[in-house]
Every structure is written in C-alpha cells, then in structure tokens.
Structure 1
C-alpha cells in the first residue's frame, strides 16, 4: 500500500472499537475515532486501543470526544446506534465531505440518513461481535466476515469500496467488496428481527428463544413475513434463515442480543430500524407485516414504560 490513508470511525463502542483497532494496526493507516464517552477516549489516547479475546494487541488510535477536531479523511465508518446517526454524520461533515463512508450499523435505513449529509455511501454488514470491557479495552468475542458495497442512490466509488475491504481484511477482519450489498444486509436483518425483540421482551437469550416451542412459532412467523418482503423487493438472501437459527442454537445459545442489553439498561432500542425497517419496506412493496408491526408496538410500549412518556 502506497501513501497514507486516514480513516474516521464514528462511534467507538464494541464494533467501532474493533474495526478501528484492526485498521490502526496496519502501517500507513491513520485511524481517528469519535465517541462521547470521555473515559474511553482518554484511555485510548493514553494507552492505545487494546483488543483482547480472540486477538491480543494494542493499536495506536487517535480518539476524540467530538468531531470538531477530526481532520479530512479518505474513508469513514459509521458505527453509532441508529438514533445517533444523523447527529454524528452532521458533526463530521467537514472531515468526511470527500470520503467514501460505510454504515456498519444494525438494521435498515441508516444509509439513507448518511446519504442525506454525505455524497458517497456504502452499505455494510458484519457478523463480528465484541464488548467494551473497560475504557480503552474491547474484547473480540466472535469472528465473522463483513460485506460492503455501494448504497445505490448515492454510491461510493468502486475504488473506495475495494480499498476499505482490502484494509479491513489485511487488518484481520475478512471483508468482501460486493456489487449488491442488500443480500448480506437483509440476511442479518431477517435473523435479528426474528429473534432480538423476542429476547428483549422475555429476557431470554437467543438460544432460549429459538428452542422454546411457543416462541419458535413467532420466530418462524417473523422470518416468513420478512422473506415475503424480500421476494417482493427483489432481494436475494445469502443464507437460509433456518441455517442462521440452527447456528445460533448451536454456537450462540447464551448470547444476549443488543436489544435485550438495551432493555436491561433502559436505553432506547433499535426496534425502528430492525422490525420497523422490514415493515417499512413491506409497505413500499405492498406486503403486510403484522407480526413485525406487533414487535415494534410491543417494544416501543416497553420503552415508554420506563420513560413515562
């Protein structure tokens, strides 16, 4: 690789931290991370960003509590919660105005928000998992490939997509540059939307949800509705959702999805971009999604129960 590549990572939670660290370990790559958690930012600047678990290294990431000091970058990664996308991207507009920017967020609709501010956008899908265990330290829990491709209404350049995929792969996170990234994205969304809200509503792990007879009926119903939406929208999944369910039971039985973690912490969930995203696409395609609509109503009702609104 010739020359220096500067990458901005917006959101330095578990995923943002993992991707920032793996990129920053490469020679010739300068990584800047933005996150409002001041203790995490200070620890990263003082000691580097440490990765534990399935990898063990420390990477030289430059961290900021806001995007005001972010320099111009060639590439950008958005890894915030969906609710924070608009503010994070708007704050980084000056630094990312001539960058290819990928969303590595959960759900559907984040790319539209990014493209409302920035001109060249990529769809991104990951199955990597991790946890920030203390300021400056992220545990790499589960490996998995990533896929990035152009966001059709405002696509990043092919060279930008290829470069980011190569850098992530060289850094240790296998990433595929694809012409149509909707398939990988929807493959993940269909599974998450069929399991995460049920886990959030019951307090059960993904494996428990998928092996409970009554809840498994609801998982299968949610999957079937989502598949009908995909068929109407011309989206081809890269994997049978049944295989994802079987793998979750076998390899991630005790996994607590982020929506369950948000509910336990009484934080706003991402129900709107998961089940709400499928329901919105269903309306556009003329496909009814009553089960997904019910999940949105139930989880939002749960959220209101602790906010009093």
Structure 2
C-alpha cells in the first residue's frame, strides 16, 4: 500500500480503552487519519486536551489524537473506510448499529475483540464488510488518557481474516497498517483462529479474576493449573463441535500434534511465557476492579452453550460461570480463597 493511499484512508477506532487507544496511538504516530470514538467522557476530554500517553516496558509514547464521544457520532459527516471495533464483546451489536451510518459503502469493520463476535458484526453491517480478528497483548488503563501497555510491538500479535473471501486482498492491506502496532498474520480461517484464542481465554481470563490475582500468581494456587487447563480442554471440545479446526495462533509454528489437549497445553504455555507479565491483570479482573461486568458469558459461557447444543456438558466452565456471575451480582467477593470453590 502506498503511503499516499494510507494517508487518504479515514480510520476510526470505536472503543478506545487500553487496547484500542494504544493501537490507535500507533496509527496516529504513523501519520494516519484516525478518529477515536469512546464512551468514557473523562477519557475523551483527556485525549483531546493532552493526547494519549502509552507507557511501554522500556519507553513511553505520546500521540495527539482526535476523540469523539458516542453522542458526537451523529455529527460526523465523512464516512470511514475502516473501523476497528475494540469494545467488549457484549457491546458489539449496538456499537455496530451506531457506526454503520458513518461506514463507507465499501468500508470494513475489523472486530479486534475477545469472543466470537464476527457474526454479530456481520448481522449489522453485512458479511461483505466484516473482518474478524484475534489478538494477544496485555495493557491496562485506570487514568484517563494514560495507557500502560505491557507488550511492545515485538510481542503484540494479531491475526485478521475476512468473512467474505473476496476481501482477502483488502485484509492484506489492513494488515500492513496494523503492523505499526505489532506482528500481524492473515488467515483464511478466522473462525478457527478465534476459537483457538477463546480456548486460552476460557482457561485464563475468568479463573484468575475469580481469585483477584494476576494470572501468573493465580496459576500457582493449589489445584488452579488443573482447573484452568481442564477449562481449556472443554473449550477445545466446544470448538471442534462448532466445526473449528486446530490452527496455530500467536505466531506459533504449525503443529503436527494430533492430540487436541496437547494443543491446548501448547497455547496455554505460550501465553504464559510470552504475553503475560508477573503483574498482568486479565481484562476480566480489570473490569471488575472498575465495577464493570466482564465478558464471562462471551467466553466461558459460550463454551457451555456450544457444548450444550451439541449434547455435552462443560462442568468446569459451568462452575467458572456460576462463580463469576455471583461475583458480578455482589453475592461473592473475588479473592484468592475462591480457589477452593474451583478446585474442589
């Protein structure tokens, strides 16, 4: 893609929390025409006044950005060529409905999200304008305008895949843009890639949050590693029941392993080694500490529902969902002693 063409593209990031803002800042620093669309008023104000500061492990970046509040989307007159959707999975459909009027007729929505959101996106904007994505990078934000990103570009990973195969060349061009923020692959089987990531998310995100601990500490609690891996094994069975293939993710080499559980173990270990720092708080725990509900039903709940439709149970994921929902309802507190509830 020529630099002139890149600069002429109109790009939006719908959802500029820790992940969206840090990726969007990379785009702004690359000289691209980027608009941030965000629902946290103080964050919008801070970004417009002072830009976005991204604190990386060994350096800090600052980018001046243009941010819009959700209520200002109706004021936008130009249409976007690419919208990166970086909102919670449960906010997918209504966010797509919000931005669809300002999406170009041939524009694309790229769902950089947890969960199997590509179909929800397509239900609003059409499969021909939908690009699925899967990613791994750790970041957090508790102060408006300031992001702490624990993975620099060399250890941030993305994969993209079009729902409409005819869009493969366009997705390749989006991948070129996204490489300003990390390693990027293009796949012809984004559904399987998203399932592989959901498997490791089911094993790690919610179980560690239930203990109110960073993942690296939660996995060391008595019985928890077995619980986490078993949740992943159930998720793999759900993936296969849904027709997903076993595909490499996270930049891992293709494997000849014909044992689904060993493949789960390999992904689990890669995330622990490469993408999780000792103090990394999963996105679920960050949400809970902010008083927000998390993507429990879109991750472990999706495993439960998929296996139920196939006539099978997912007892470990069911228990994870039960405990997590009790925490969100205020009936239980996230704490390390909850390991006994999961490991019993």
**Both proteins in one fold, TM over 0.5:** yes
Match of 2:182 among 170, 173, 197: 173
The corresponding residue for 1:11 is: 15
Deviations 1:198-256 (A, max 9, x none): 22222232123322341222112212212222333232141533234334555534322
The corresponding residue for 1:278 is: 303
User: C-alpha separation between the residues in 2 aligned to 1:296 and 1:113?
Assistant: 22
Check conservation: 2:196, 2:236, Cα contact below 8 A.
no
The corresponding residue for 1:210 is: 219
The answer as to 2:29 corresponding to 1:25 is: yes
Residues paired across the two proteins, number: 302
The corresponding residue for 1:77 is: 84
Shift of 1:138: 2.0
Shift of 1:286: 4.1
Check conservation: 2:25, 2:63, Cα contact below 8 A.
yes
Q: Which stretch of structure 1 is more off in the superposition, 139-148 or 298-307?
A: 298-307
Aligned 1:1-309 pairs, distance under 5 A = 1=2, 2-3=4-5, 4-27=8-31, 29-54=32-57, 55-66=59-70, 67-70=73-76, 71-98=78-105, 99-108=107-116, 110-119=117-126, 120-142=129-151, 143-151=155-163, 157-169=167-179, 171-232=180-241, 233-238=243-248, 240-250=263-273, 252-305=277-330
Tell me, which stretches of 5 or more residues in structure 1 are unaligned?
Answer: none
The two structures, once aligned, show a CA RMSD in angstroms of 2.3
User: C-alpha separation between the residues in 2 aligned to 1:241 and 1:168?
Assistant: 27
User: C-alpha separation between the residues in 2 aligned to 1:211 and 1:181?
Assistant: 32
Q: 1:269 is paired with a residue of what secondary structure?
A: coil
Q: 1:281 is paired with a residue of what secondary structure?
A: helix
User: C-alpha separation between the residues in 1 aligned to 2:331 and 2:166?
Assistant: 40
Shift of 1:43: 2.4
User: C-alpha separation between the residues in 2 aligned to 1:150 and 1:215?
Assistant: 37
Tell me, which stretches of 5 or more residues in structure 2 are unaligned?
Answer: 250-262, 333-344
Q: From the superposition, tell whether residues 194 and 147 of structure 1 become closer, same or farther in structure 2 (CA, over 3 Å).
A: same
User: C-alpha separation between the residues in 2 aligned to 1:65 and 1:172?
Assistant: 24
Deviations 1:15-37 (A, max 9, x none): 1101211112223x210111122
User: C-alpha separation between the residues in 2 aligned to 1:48 and 1:243?
Assistant: 39
User: C-alpha separation between the residues in 2 aligned to 1:132 and 1:180?
Assistant: 32
